[in-house]
Amino acid sequence: MSEQQKEVKVYSIPTCPHCKKVKMFLENNGIAFQDVNVAADKAAREEMVQKTRQMGVPVTFIDGDYIIGDDEGKLREKLGL
């Protein structure tokens, strides 16, 4: 039996090339994720800032931990790829 799917949430904005890179990486590796548009969702934006203490996107939450930016190495490590 395979490992249980990790909970993945990407806080992003539609015009961000780094956000698109993270989402493409997840899609290409078959990782299901929730995409949260912080440009349109003020509550989600406030939640992201409260948890990370910064405004930059993308922020990827994986099972409660977060990765800021499009660091593929950290994404691979946290996802076990």
64: its two tokens: 């409660």
Structural domain boundaries in the chain: 8-79
Q: Are the C-beta atoms of residues 49 and 16 closer than 8 Å to each other?
A: no
19: its two tokens: 């956000």
* Phi/psi of residue 23, nearest 5 degrees: -65, -40
Cis peptide before 14 (omega within 30 of 0): no
Alpha helices per DSSP H over 9-57? 17-28, 42-52
Per-residue model confidence (pLDDT) at position 6: 85
User: How much helix, strand and coil, in percent to the nearest 5, is found in the chain?
Assistant: 40, 20, 40
Does the domain at 8-79 match CATH 3.40.50.970? Answer given as: no
Per-residue model confidence (pLDDT) at position 64: 86
- What are the tens digits of pLDDT across the range 8-59? 999 999 999 999 999 999 999 999 999 999 999 999 999 999 999 988 999 9
Per-residue model confidence (pLDDT) at position 3: 47
Is the pLDDT score of 1 beyond 60?
Answer: no
